[in-house]
Amino acid sequence: MLLTLTSTAPSATDLGFLLHKHPERAQSFDLSVGRAHVFYPVATPDECTVALLLEVDPIALVRGKGPRDAGFSLAQYVNDRPYAASSMLAVALGRVFGSAMAGRCETRPELVDAALPLTVHAPAVPCRGGVEVAERLFEPLGWHVETTPVPLDPTIPAWGDSRYVDLRLTGTMRVAEALSHLYVLLPTLDAAKHYWVGSDEVDKLVRVGGGWLGAHPERGEIARRYLAHRGSLARSALARLAEVDDVEPEVLDDAVAPEADDAVAPDAIVAASVTEGPADRSAAAEAPAATRPLAAQRLDAVVEVLRESGARSVVDLGCGEGVLLSALLADPRFERLLGVDVSHRALQVAARRLHLDTLPDRARQRVDLAQSSVTYADARVAGFDAAVLMEVVEHVDASRLGALARAVLGSAAPGTVVVTTPNAEHNVRYERLAAGAFRHADHRFEWTRAQFREWVGAVAQRYGYTARFAPVGPEDPEVGPPTQLAVLTKDVAA
C-alpha cells in the first residue's frame, strides 16, 4: 500500500527536517505487519514528495495474532491487506513518522508551527459508506477532498464501482496535523481494524486526535468506526474528549444554549434573558442601555463595529443559533453573510431562526450556513470583509489558539476581525457564580483584561493587524466591564 505527502512551500525540502527523513536517503523499517519503506520521488526547492510504501506480509499475519474468519479461512490468504490503505498503514505512519506527528523537530523547531501547502495521495483507500464519507470526515479539518471511485473491474463497467477510492487531499496546515488526521481517519474510513481493539486504542485516539477530534462535527462516528464499533470504548473516548466531568458523551454538542434551569448564565444574572426575534430586538432597542441584557448590548456593539468598518460581507465564526446573522440580515448594507459552526444541531436552529426555507430569493441569496471548525483553514471563509468571533475563543483549548489565529488571521485574512470574550475580573460581581468558576461549563479559560490584550496584541503583530479595544456592558471602576471587545484591522502594507 502506498501514500505520498507533497509540499509545495518555498524551500520545499524542509519537509525532510519535519519528517526526520533525509530526501537523499531511502530508509526501511521492520513492523509487525511487514516492512515500511520511505523515499522521496521528488525533492526540489519548489516541490518535495515523500512516499511511504508498506509491504504487508499476509502469511505472517495469518500466523500471528490477527483476527481470524473461521467461516472463510481462504480470506486469510486472499484479501486486500497488501494493497489498501487501512489501519496497518496508520501503524506504519505512527512508527515511521512518530516524532513528526508529535510536533518535534529539534534541528529546525521553527518549522513545526508552519502551515504548509500540502497534498496527500492514497490511490487505494477502503471507504465504507461511499465517497461522501471521506468528504464528511476530512473537509471539516480544512482539506479539499477529491475522491475517484475505483471500479470493480475496468474491463467490465457493468459491475460498477468497488468500495475503494483514489483519495487526494489538498490543504494548508502543519505537517503534524496532517499526519494525525491520516493516522485517525484512514482506519475510520475502512471501519475495520486488523488487530485486537482494546482500551489502549482509546488512549491512541485521544492522544493523537485530542487536538482536533473534540471539535469535529462527526466525532461520534469517528470514535465508533475507529474503535471497531465497540460502543463502550467509543463512549469512553467521547467522554475523555469532553474534558468536562459532568458532561455526558451524548451531549458533547453544546453549541446550542441549554435551558435556563440547566446552567448559571451571567447574562441572566445581569438581566432577564432576551428573546432574539425581530420584534423583540426592536422593543429592546428602545430600552435604556443600562437595563438591557448583556447579550443584547454585546450584539449591538458588534453590529456597530461592523457598520463602522464599512464591511459588506461578514462571516460569523462559531455562529451558534444565528443571533448575529439575524441582526445583520435585517440591515441591507450587509450584502453577503456566512455563518459557520462545528455543530450541526446549532446550524439547524440557526436555519429556523433565519427562516431560510421561506426567505424571499433576494434575501436568501445574501446568507448561507456551513459546518466547519474555527481552528482549521477553510476556503469557504476566505474573501470576506469582516469576521466575527463573538464569545467563541474561550470555548477553544488554549493549545489550539495558535491554530485558530492561523486559520482566521493568516488563512482567511479578512480586513476586520471582531472578537468578544468574558472579562474574568468581572466574575466577582456575579453572586451566584462560585469563586474561581467559569461562566459556562464548556469554557476552557476566561481571560483578564491584561491577558486578552496580550494575546490579541501578539496575534495582531504576527499577522499584520492593528488592534483596538472597547468595553461592553457597564464598566465597573474596579474590575472593568463584563465583556471585552477587540477590533483587529488589517494593515494596508500587510
The predicted-structure confidence for 289-318, as pLDDT tens digits, reads as follows 445 688 889 999 999 999 999 999 999 999
**Percent of the chain beyond pLDDT 70?**
81
User: Burial letters for 231-242: b for 16+ Cβ neighbours within 10 Å, e otherwise?
Assistant: eebbbbbbbebb
Q: Is the CB of residue 467 less than 8 Å from the CB of residue 486?
A: yes
- Residues 415-450 pLDDT 10s: 999 999 999 999 999 888 888 889 887 899 999 999
Q: Which pLDDT score is estimated for 153?
A: 81
**Percent of the chain beyond pLDDT 90?**
48
- Average pLDDT of the residues in 122-138: 86
**CA–CA separation, 21 and 40 (whole Å):** 9
Q: What is the β-pairing status of strands 116-126 and 2-7?
A: antiparallel
Look-up of cell digits 477530534 = 213
- Average pLDDT of the residues in 349-354: 90
Q: Is the CB of residue 305 less than 8 Å from the CB of residue 328?
A: no
Is the pLDDT reported for residue 80 higher than 80?
no
Q: Which three cell numbers stand for residue 473?
A: 456592558
Contacts of 355 by beta carbon, 8 Å cutoff, 6+ apart: none
Q: Is the CB of residue 489 less than 8 Å from the CB of residue 305?
A: no
Phi, psi of 438 (to 5 degrees): -90, 165
Q: Which pLDDT score is estimated for 279?
A: 32
Beta strands in 267-392, from DSSP E residues, in sequence order: 313-317, 336-341, 367-371, 386-390
Mean pLDDT value across the chain: 82
Coil, strand or helix at 305: helix
Phi, psi of 166 (to 5 degrees): -85, 115
Contacts of 447 by beta carbon, 8 Å cutoff, 6+ apart: 394, 421, 422, 423, 424, 455, 484
Contacts of 466 by beta carbon, 8 Å cutoff, 6+ apart: 460, 488, 489, 491
Q: Which pLDDT score is estimated for 82?
A: 60
More confident: 149 or 43: 43
Q: Which of 183-192, 228-237, 249-258, 367-376 shows the lowest per-residue confidence on average (mean pLDDT)?
A: 249-258
Q: Which three cell numbers stand for residue 415?
A: 480586513
Look-up of cell digits 509491504 = 55
Q: Which pLDDT score is estimated for 158?
A: 86
Phi, psi of 49 (to 5 degrees): -120, 125
Is the pLDDT reported for residue 230 higher than 60?
yes
Is the pLDDT reported for residue 267 higher than 50?
no
Q: How far apart are the first and last CA of the chain?
A: 44
Measuring CA to CA, which residue among 209, 172, 8 is closest to residue 90?
A: 209
Q: In what order do the strands lie in the sheet with 416-422?
A: 367-371, 336-341, 313-317, 386-390, 416-422, 483-490, 465-472
* C-alpha distances out from residue 206 to 143, 177, 216, 479, Å: 21, 14, 13, 38
**CA–CA separation, 69 and 61 (whole Å):** 13
**CA–CA separation, 270 and 429 (whole Å):** 10
More confident: 442 or 319: 319
Is the pLDDT reported for residue 371 higher than 80?
yes
**CA–CA separation, 422 and 439 (whole Å):** 8
Q: Which three cell numbers stand for residue 276?
A: 432574539
DSSP 410: I
Mean pLDDT highest for which of 165-169, 265-269, 280-284?
165-169
- How many C-alpha atoms does 256 have within 13 Å on its Cβ side? 14
pLDDT band at 66 (very low <50, low <70, confident <90, very high): very low
**CA–CA separation, 291 and 293 (whole Å):** 7
**CA–CA separation, 187 and 195 (whole Å):** 11
pLDDT band at 160 (very low <50, low <70, confident <90, very high): confident
Phi, psi of 416 (to 5 degrees): -135, 135
Contacts of 384 by beta carbon, 8 Å cutoff, 6+ apart: 311, 313, 314, 315, 336, 338, 412, 414
pLDDT band at 268 (very low <50, low <70, confident <90, very high): very low
Is the pLDDT reported for residue 372 higher than 80?
yes
- Residues 462-491 pLDDT 10s: 999 999 999 999 999 999 999 999 999 999
| CA 441 to centroid of chain Cα atoms | 20
Q: What is the β-pairing status of strands 313-317 and 336-341?
A: parallel
Phi, psi of 5 (to 5 degrees): -130, 125
Is the pLDDT reported for residue 30 higher than 70?
yes
Beta bridge partners of 2: 53
- Average pLDDT of the residues in 379-406: 94
**CA–CA separation, 118 and 120 (whole Å):** 7
Is the pLDDT reported for residue 227 higher than 50?
yes
